[in-house]
Structure 1
Amino acid sequence: MGLFLLMILIVVFGCQRQEITHKEQDLVRVKSINGEDKKKVILLVVDSLMAQAIDKGIAQKELPTIQFLIEHGQYSKDMVSSFPTMSVTIDSSLLTGRYPDGHRVPGLTWYSTKEKKLINYGTGPMEVIKHGVDPVLFDALVNLNGSHLNQQLPTIYEDLARRGMKSGSINGLIYRGTVDHTLTIPPWIQVPTSLPKTIPVKGPDYLALGSLSDPLEGIKKLPDGLTDRMGLNNQFSISTVNYLVKENKLPDFLYVYLPDLDQKIHKNGPSNQNGMKELDRQLQSLLQSFGSPEEALNQAIFIIVGDSGMTQILPARDNPVIDLPSLFNDYKLLRQGESITDETEIVLAVNETMAYVYKLKADKLKDIAYLLKEEPRIDFIAWKEQEWIYAIQGKTSKEIRFKTNGKLIDPYQQKWVIEQDAEVLDLKIDSQHHTLNYGQYPDVLQRLSGALHSHPGEFLVVTAKPGYELADRNSPTHKGGGGHGSLGQSESLIPLIVSGTDQKPQYLRIIDLKSFLLKLLTK
Structure 2
Amino acid sequence: MTPLRKIIIWSLLIVFMLTSGCQKEEAKPDEQDLVQVKSIKREDSKKVIFLMIDSLMSQAIDDGIKQNKLPTFQYLTEHGIYYKDMVSSFPTMSVTIDSSLITGTYPNSHHVPGLTWYSSDEKKVINYGTGPMEIWKQGGNEVLQDALINLNGKHLNPQIPTIYEDLAKHGLKSGSINGLIYRGASHHRLTIPDWLKGITSLPKEIQVKGPDFLALGSLANPLENVKDMPEGITGRLGLNNQYSMEAVKYLIQKNKLPDFLFVYLPDLDQKLHKKGPQERSGVEELDKQLGSLLKQFGSPEEALNKTIFILAGDSGMTSLYSAQNDSVVDLPSLLKEYSVLKQGKSVTDETDIVLAVNETMAYVYNLNKENSLRDLAYALTFDPRIDIVSWKENEWVYALQGETNKEVKYKSNGKMVDSYQQKWKVERDLDVLDLKLNSKNQKLSYGKYPDVLQRLSGALHSHQGDFLVVTAKPGYELADKSSPTHEGGGGHGSLHEKESLVPLIICGTNEKPQHLRIIDLKPYFLKLLIKE
Give TM-score scaled by structure 1 length: 0.99
Deviation (angstroms), 1:106: 0.0
Q: Which runs of 5+ in 1 are unaligned?
A: none
Equivalent of 1:339 in 305, 328, 346: 346
Which residue does 1:299 correspond to in 2? 306
CA distance in 2, matches of 1:293, 1:417: 49
Q: How many residues align?
A: 523
Contact 2:37 2:175 in 1 (8 A): yes
Which residue does 2:16 correspond to in 1? 13
Matched, 1:87 2:90: no
Deviation (angstroms), 1:11: 4.4
Matched, 1:351 2:358: yes
Equivalent of 1:463 in 471, 488, 496: 471
SS at match of 1:392: strand
Amino acid corresponding to residue 360 of structure 1 in structure 2: L
Which residue does 2:64 correspond to in 1? 57
Which residue does 1:200 correspond to in 2? 207
CA distance in 2, matches of 1:251, 1:96: 19
CA distance in 1, matches of 2:454, 2:26: 47
Deviation (angstroms), 1:269: 0.1
Matched, 1:512 2:520: yes
Which residue does 1:118 correspond to in 2? 125
Amino acid corresponding to residue 400 of structure 2 in structure 1: I
Deviation (angstroms), 1:13: 2.2
Q: Runs ≥4 in structure 1, deviation > 6 angstroms?
A: none
Which residue does 2:37 correspond to in 1? 30
Amino acid corresponding to residue 252 of structure 1 in structure 2: D
CA distance in 2, matches of 1:19, 1:505: 46
CA 1:223/1:74 → structure 2, altered by over 3 Å: closer, same or farther? Answer: same
CA distance in 2, matches of 1:205, 1:24: 10
Amino acid corresponding to residue 307 of structure 1 in structure 2: D
SS at match of 2:281: coil
Matched, 1:39 2:46: yes
Equivalent of 1:189 in 192, 196, 204: 196
Deviation (angstroms), 1:20: 3.6
Map Cα deviations across residues 240-273 of structure 1 (whole Å, 9 max, x no partner).
0000001000000000000000000000000010
Matched, 1:372 2:380: yes
Deviation (angstroms), 1:30: 0.2
Which residue does 2:491 correspond to in 1? 483
SS at match of 2:503: strand
% identity of equivalent residues = 66
Deviation (angstroms), 1:54: 0.3
CA distance in 1, matches of 2:284, 2:383: 41
Map Cα deviations across residues 267-314 of structure 1 (whole Å, 9 max, x no partner).
000001021111111111111111111111111001100000000000
Amino acid corresponding to residue 483 of structure 1 in structure 2: G
Contact 1:332 1:343 in 2 (8 A): yes
Matched, 1:444 2:460: no
Which residue does 1:138 correspond to in 2? 145
Amino acid corresponding to residue 121 of structure 1 in structure 2: Y
CA distance in 1, matches of 2:344, 2:143: 11
Which residue does 2:76 correspond to in 1? 69
Which residue does 2:481 correspond to in 1? 473
Deviation (angstroms), 1:190: 3.3
CA distance in 1, matches of 2:315, 2:195: 33
Which residue does 2:336 correspond to in 1? 329
CA distance in 2, matches of 1:378, 1:74: 37
Q: Which runs of 5+ in 2 are unaligned?
A: none
Matched, 1:150 2:150: no
Map Cα deviations across residues 467-486 of structure 1 (whole Å, 9 max, x no partner).
00000010000000000000
Q: Which moved more, 1:362-371 or 1:258-267?
A: 362-371
SS at match of 2:148: helix
Deviation (angstroms), 1:380: 1.1
Contact 1:20 1:184 in 2 (8 A): no
Map Cα deviations across residues 422-441 of structure 1 (whole Å, 9 max, x no partner).
01000011111100100000
Equivalent of 1:313 in 311, 320, 325: 320
Matched, 1:229 2:232: no
SS at match of 1:48: coil
SS at match of 1:275: helix
Which residue does 1:275 correspond to in 2? 282
Matched, 1:393 2:401: yes
CA distance in 1, matches of 2:105, 2:12: 30
SS at match of 2:427: strand
